[in-house]
Amino acid sequence: MTLQFPLAQSVDWSAGAAYLDGAFMVVRDAKIPITDWGYRRSDVTYDVVSVWDGAFFRLDDHLRRFRASMRTMRLAPQETDEEIRRILHHLVALTGLRNAYVAMDCLRARPNPGERYHPANARSYLAAFAIPYVWLMKPEIIERGAHMIIASTPRIPDVCLDARAKNFHWADMTAALFEAEEKGADNPILLDLDGNVTEGPGYNVFCVTDGLVATPDRNVLEGISRLSAIDLCREMGLGCGLRRVPVGELLEADEVFVTSTAGGVIPVTRLDSRILGNDRPGPVTERLREAYWLKRRKGWHAEPVDYASAQPR
User: Regarding the domain delimited by 8-134, which CATH topology (the fold level of the hierarchy) does it fall under?
Assistant: D-amino Acid Aminotransferase; Chain A, domain 1 (3.30.470)
The pLDDT value given to residue 156: 97
User: Regarding the domain delimited by 139-297, which CATH topology (the fold level of the hierarchy) does it fall under?
Assistant: D-amino Acid Aminotransferase; Chain A, domain 2 (3.20.10)
pLDDT at 10 > cutoff 90:
no
Average pLDDT of span 135-151: 96
Rounded CA-CA distance 53/120 in Å is 42
- The neighbour count for residue 136, using CB atoms within 10 Å, is 22
User: What DSSP string describes 65-76?
Assistant: HHHHHHHHTT--
The pLDDT value given to residue 300: 98
The pLDDT value given to residue 267: 98
pLDDT at 54 > cutoff 90:
yes
Report residue 208's pLDDT band, with 50, 70 and 90 as the boundaries: very high
Average pLDDT, the chain: 97
Do 188 and 201 meet the contact criterion of CB atoms below 8 Å apart?
yes
In this predicted model, what pLDDT tens digit does every residue of 24-40 receive, in sequence order?
999 999 999 999 999 99
Do 213 and 241 meet the contact criterion of CB atoms below 8 Å apart?
yes
In this predicted model, what pLDDT tens digit does every residue of 181-205 receive, in sequence order?
999 999 999 999 999 999 999 999 9
Average pLDDT of span 173-177: 98
Q: Are strands 17-20 and 44-52 parallel, antiparallel or unpaired?
A: unpaired
The pLDDT value given to residue 49: 98
Do 119 and 108 meet the contact criterion of CB atoms below 8 Å apart?
yes
For residue 229, CA distances in Å to 190, 206, 235, 242, 288 come to: 20, 9, 10, 12, 7
Report residue 2's pLDDT band, with 50, 70 and 90 as the boundaries: confident
Average pLDDT of span 137-146: 96
Report residue 9's pLDDT band, with 50, 70 and 90 as the boundaries: confident
pLDDT at 108 > cutoff 80:
yes
The pLDDT value given to residue 1: 76
Report residue 259's pLDDT band, with 50, 70 and 90 as the boundaries: very high
Average pLDDT of span 131-140: 96
Backbone angles phi, psi at 193, to 5 degrees: -70, -15
Domain residue extents for the chain: 8-134, 139-297
Backbone angles phi, psi at 26, to 5 degrees: -65, 150
